[in-house]
Amino acid sequence: MAKLYRCEICGDGYIGFNPPPNCPFCGAHVEYIKEAKEAQVNFDINLTAKDRAHAEHALQVEISNSAFYMCAANETNDPEGKILFKTLGKIEAEHASIWRKVLKLGAIAPGTDACHTENVENLKESHARETRAIDFYRKAASEADHPRIKQIFASLVDIETDHLHLSEARLK
């Protein structure tokens, strides 16, 4: 019988017979996907100044990366690259949505980042963007004052590392 699952990182639900290996919305690993009735999801966080600054920076990173990936999905000269970049764009937009909820913001303006037509150039840019995000998220997780903020940043390190490995594999 199918069950209702919920991702503890983004809060989105999933219906299936088993939890997926990764959240289909934000990419969180399976340890964050619980039966909905058992999931602990909270975006109502009393942010310290440091956590707020890190969340605001993370929001901008995710908006920028989503815009880049959506541009790359439209412009790249490789059919598989189009699929990859569209998928990454959706995931990064979901990450921006997480920070929007944490920061209690309404609608957020999309980014306007440019991209390349050559797939290899987009893959190199993807690699650089994911590396910067991982470095920042790792630092933000280690400095986080609130356990929920630490949890989100730690999960994003894992997710962005998955993205990094995708670009590395395609650059070889």
pLDDT-above-70 percentage for the chain: 100
What pLDDT shows up at residue 172?
Answer: 86
Residue labelled with tokens 């289909």? 24
Could you give the CA distance from residue 20 to residue 167 in angstroms, rounded to a whole number? 22
Mean local confidence (pLDDT), 135-158:
98
- Domain with 21, as residue range(s), is 3-38
* Claim to verify: residue 24 and residue 74 sit in the same structural domain: no
CATH number, domain containing residue 34: 2.20.28
Number of domains forming the structure of the chain: 2
In degrees and rounded to multiples of 5, residue 45 shows phi and psi of -115, 135
The single-letter code of the amino acid at 141 is A
Residues 47-83 pLDDT 10s: 999 999 999 999 999 999 999 999 999 999 999 999 9
What's the predicted TM-score (pTM) here? 0.96
CATH number, domain containing residue 126: 1.20.1260.10
* Claim to verify: residue 33 and residue 118 sit in the same structural domain: no
Of 32-36, 58-62, 149-153, 167-171, least confident by mean pLDDT is: 167-171
pLDDT band at 147 (very low <50, low <70, confident <90, very high): very high
